[in-house]
Amino acid sequence: MGTILFFQESEWYLINLIKKLWYYGLNFLRKYMWAEDLMDKFMRIYRYQKFDYSFSTTESLLYAMGGDDFTSMLNMTIDEVMQKSGFTKKFIDDMVVPAMRFNYGQGVDVNGFVGAISYAWTDSGLWAVAGGNKLVCSGLLHAAKAQLIQGTVTSVQEKVHSTKPGNTVKLYEISYVTDKGPGLDLYDIVVIATPLNKNLGNIEFVGFDPPIEALYGPYQQMVVTFVHGRINTSYFGCSKPCHFPLSDVLTTYNPKLFIHSISAVSPANPVPESDTSKASGLRVWKIFSPEVLTDEQLHQLFESYDAVKVRNWLAYPRYSPPEKIPPIELHRSIYYVDGIEWAASAIEMCVIAAKNVALLSHHQWYGKNDHIDQQDLAERLKSEL
């Protein structure tokens, strides 16, 4: 790719089916069965959590979901996993590489687990929250009746406090900064729910042995550029007049390419396109790229544009199997949610990890060890309603 679109989806189901069979034989059927098996195992976690079971490591959580099939994928690339499952190299290069570039800005050398779950979910349809994802957070805070201190945590330190004469208790002192200035509070349990890296989180763990900072791994930069403009279809191999509506273009590996993907953005509640907007061809486009796009590159992608917004992220772990997954328990009663992103970075994974930490911390606090790291849950819960 770079100048040609080598596989274009049609709006017609039958035409798509014939094209897929023609180019890729039975690979898509294989993918369907492979993804079904993966999802069946993945969905087990919701049943375990419904019955309040928790796990003290990400590896034991994955093992409870899918046994060795899941944990072994952390030590292989998605390329190796899919080749072992019988997919052809052409299918992997044409279909899986673009999905990995789109999802993680990386290639098929990412670990097999993140590759598999992100690729298996490519057909399942995406949901959007009208008003923005931030409403999920404010809704949850409201429902939990949580007391929120709106600020930035700067450090965590263990402190020994005397209660009665002769009695001591270990607590964590959290230092933070709010609009009103610095503050500190003492807590029994601390949950870190942001990725930790030297450029992310920026929380100092004071006086811990071994040092918690040693767990940090590198994150992958991803630049997101939103452009309101008219796309240059001929750059994408569709000469003018271009007779099909370009809405998502994914890319295969090509060192000369400066974008990972470009997609038209639609509002959560679609508004009917007016005749004027149809005629003008103006839309909002979202581009993923490894570096900030230059004016020259934007002019290659667009015939014209009138607004550009750029956001640079340290977005996801830079995967490199065999993967070393950070612990969930960073120290006694300090829990880390986002370590699961080293198995697979996705909102759903972090939600599962957050619920796991809530259950685990509760069970450890109350000594309910029969709900931690239990074996054969899939079998044991079969008979439960």
Ligand X SMILES: Cc1cc2nc3c(=O)[nH]c(=O)nc-3n(C[C@H](O)[C@H](O)[C@H](O)COP(=O)(O)OP(=O)(O)OC[C@H]3O[C@@H](n4cnc5c(N)ncnc54)[C@H](O)[C@@H]3O)c2cc1C
Which CB atom, from 224 or from 282, has the smaller least distance to ligand X? 224
Which CB atom, from 224 or from 298, has the smaller least distance to ligand X? 224
Per-residue binder mask for ligand X (CB under 6 A), 350-379, x = binder: x-----------------------------
Decide: is 212 part of the binding site for ligand X (CB under 6 A): no
Decide: is 222 part of the binding site for ligand X (CB under 6 A): yes
Decide: is 262 part of the binding site for ligand X (CB under 6 A): no
Per-residue binder mask for ligand X (CB under 6 A), 150-189, x = binder: --xx------------------------------------
Enclosing H/E stretch for 158: strand 152-162
Q: Can you name the residues that pair with 227 across neighbouring β-strands?
A: 285, 308
- Helix axis angle, 112-120 to 97-104, nearest 10°: 100
Q: Can you name the residues that pair with 174 across neighbouring β-strands?
A: 156, 185
Residues in contact with ligand X, counted by CB under 6 A, come to a total of 20
Q: What DSSP character marks residue 202? A: -
- Residue 133 CB, shortest distance to ligand X, in Å, is 8
Can you tell me which of 73, 249, 338, 357 binds ligand X, judged by CB under 6 A? Answer: 338
- Residue 348 CB, shortest distance to ligand X, in Å, is 6
Decide: is 265 part of the binding site for ligand X (CB under 6 A): no
What b-and-e string marks burial along 314-353, b requiring 16 or more CB atoms within 10 Å of the CB?
bbbbbbebebebbbbbbbebbbbbbbbbbbbbbeebbebb
Assess contact for 364 and 372: CB atoms under 8 A: yes
Give the 3-state secondary structure of residue 293: coil
Which CB atom, from 77 or from 345, has the smaller least distance to ligand X? 345
Q: By CB under 6 A, which span of 38-46, 237-245, 338-346, 376-384 interacts with ligand X?
A: 338-346
- Residue 180 CB, shortest distance to ligand X, in Å, is 15
Decide: is 312 part of the binding site for ligand X (CB under 6 A): no
Token duo for residue 214 = 């040693």
Which CB atom, from 193 or from 265, has the smaller least distance to ligand X? 193
Other CB atoms closer than 10 Å to residue 354's CB: what's the count? 17
Look at residues 190, 152, 193 and name the one whose alpha carbon lies nearest to residue 341: 193
Q: By CB under 6 A, which span of 4-12, 299-307, 343-351, 371-379 interacts with ligand X?
A: 343-351
Assess contact for 42 and 66: CB atoms under 8 A: yes
Look at residues 255, 261, 269 and name the one whose alpha carbon lies nearest to residue 285: 261
Assess contact for 189 and 364: CB atoms under 8 A: no
Decide: is 343 part of the binding site for ligand X (CB under 6 A): no
Can you tell me which of 171, 287, 337, 352 binds ligand X, judged by CB under 6 A? Answer: 337
- Residue 381 CB, shortest distance to ligand X, in Å, is 26
What does the binding site for ligand X look like in residue numbers (CB under 6 A)? 152-153, 193-195, 201-203, 222, 224, 313, 315, 337-338, 341, 345-348, 350
